[in-house]
Structure 1
Amino acid sequence: MELKEKIGIHLDQIKQLKGVENAVLTQRDGNPIQSAGVWFSKDEIFNVSSATSAIFNVGIHLHPNNLKYILIEGKKAKILIAPLNSPVHYSLNRILQQQGIIDNKHEFFIAITAQPNTNLGGIFLQTNECLKKIKTTLITSGESFKPPLVQFDDQRIQSIIQGFNVKENEDFNFKVSSFSLNLSESISMELRKLLNNFSIAIPDLKFAYITIEGGFIASKILKKTTQNNDSLDNISAMSYSLFQTANRCAWLLKKMNADSILLDCDDKFQFIYGLGKAIFSAEIGKSRQKLGLIRLILPQFSTKIRYLVKQASELQNQSTFDIKTLLGELVIK
């Protein structure tokens, strides 16, 4: 039996779980290895693998040592992205040493799409044994799965690029809104009050922030963390990028927008909620409060923050500056 057929059997077992629609095993570089479920074309598999790979790589950059899985939730589906980093037997570690990848826990990951009412946390527990078997099969195969060096002509390249275009056709607008550059003082104070109240409601909160378009922090609170402001700026920008990429992935799969993202780690959670033109993100320890309780509290605050962000957008002076007009008025002497 060929290697991909063996992996396909394990993926089919995952596909048989109630609520699961499809599953795809992918390399970290976005090269799909095997899939199970209903797909429209090979190009769609490549597009989804590339998008989930981008999400996965940002996730392990944010949490390099202890990321367990990433859960993307929307109105039409849930998407689970999990690395194959489960501990393996000593004899398999020896094979990894010979292959020179003993310290690489993030070479492969699996992306599972399920119906919106499915408990993917439970599915992750049920699929744990399958994931271990897939990893064992990959290690003992000795194959690298590096994508072949294929040369495409211009027509094929354009076809691939079009596959990533998930936006409707629209005219380019060179006018820049000033919304993402400032918030009114009153709204900023309300945001700070909300974050302070949030820190009281969540005893294990490490930090939380509200990021507007462009990855800029509008408001933040540092509680139990060693992060400095510069480090938090980087985390904020990466989290905003992760959410935007998750939106594209959700649109590719289900023509939907992502509502929230959960990054589950060994000792903490990171939550990211979409707020239209902004995101609300929080990193929370696992000491005292259970995940279920946290997930009940978070939407209450994200709804209030969304209202303030929307209010800021409506109250903001809608005047814009046109770059072309501005440059046209310059007189060079």
Structure 2
Amino acid sequence: MSEDDYRGLLDIRAHAPWRIAEAAAARRRGSPLKERGQLLIIAADHPARGVLGAGNRPFAMGSRVDLLRRLCVALARPGVDGLLATPDIVEDLLLLGALEDKLVIGSMNRGGVHGAAFEFDDRFTAYDTASILRMGLDGGKMLCRIGLDDPATATTLETCARTITELAGHSLVAMVEPFWSRRVNGTVTHDLSAEGVIRSMHVGQGLGATSAHTWLKIPVVVEMERVMRATTLPTLLLGGDPTGAPQETYAAWRDALGLPGVRGLVVGRALLYPSDDDVAAAVDTAAAMLEVTVSERARRHGAEASHLDGSGEENR
């Protein structure tokens, strides 16, 4: 994104806001999720909850200009299928022309501001079903933190369930990100054991009047093979904050991507803010992992088909 692009955004925002709706209507949409193999979606919805840190940089996402530049680089790389973001970021990228032929998932409930006393009150303060339809998006993502010691969770569960039903009524994907959570010394923490993730998945996939269009978005934890046997729903792996060594993170993703039911990655900070700041290289590494996974699955499928055909020949 050039300086001229940035100044052009400022002018449109101030003097021609109707251009956003025009850009949304004119955008070439990507092929639907169900028609794709392994997905790579770039996530950028953390800032709307006041989460601006990445790794050891507490205000990494503080500059919208820098974030948009990184997003434009990431979205332009081969193998990137789309974006998950809040309306403000989606609209900036629409105006920049960065979302052509991409999937776009709208982030919906951003009311649980990080560190707030009301953090478990995950109200739907961003996209709703009507605006996702109006903007021609491909679905909505919702955070579903199940706070065992916070009664606000009941309202979050009810609202998530209603929204899942609404989205399904329009054949739109509801991407549910569940966590089994509690406060520890005043800080919201997630149970990232296999048991904790499995519990959260069972609650998340049971929400709504139908799960026909529900996808899960879960963290990569230990015992992922056991975790994935907790659901039959399409599941995407979230990247999380890049705190460890990149190679360790990539290795964990690579192992989990080969499991049945895993349909790809939804990654934000780990690819947008790598330790060496080489966004293109980080995205290319993730895309290459997905390509290998697709090839390996095709190879296994071919081998299994050949084995079955051979068995059939012998038994005739």
TM norm. shorter chain > 0.5: no
Larger radius of gyration: 1
Report 1 or 2 for greater relative contact order, CA contacts < 8 Å, sequence distance ≥ 6: 1
